[in-house]
Homo-oligomer: A and B are copies of this chain.
Amino acid sequence: MDMRKLVGRNFARLRREKDLTQEQIEERSGISQQYLSGLERGQRNPTVITLYELAQALGVDHIELVRPSDEDAKG
């Protein structure tokens, strides 16, 4: 189970659904665009505080880290 990829994929998806750029997330959260780029590519292992700050920047109030189904895990 690659938590980096799980978090990265979900963050990227949510950011795009809300039509926000990495720069806009940086403005809202103070987390650098370069870091966000690495995060979305599954190269980062954020702390729970960083995860919470990202959720706030996305306007999300409920973070779930669920063991993905076998089907999901394949990709």
Instruction: List A residues at the B interface (Cβ < 8 Å).
Output: 1, 3-4, 7, 45-49, 51-52, 55, 61-67
Main secondary structure of the interface of A (DSSP, over half): mixed
The smallest C-beta distance from A30 to any residue of chain B, in angstroms, reads 16
Pick the contact of A7: B1, B4, B48, B67 (CB < 8 A).
B48
Are B47 and A46 in contact (CB-based, < 8 A)?
A: yes
State the number of copies, please: 2
Q: Which B-chain residue is minimally distant from A2 (CB atoms)?
A: B49
User: Do A3 and B48 have beta carbons less than 8 Å apart?
Assistant: yes
Q: Which residues of B contact A64 (CB under 8 A)?
A: 62-65
Distance between A70 CB and nearest chain B CB, rounded to angstroms: 13
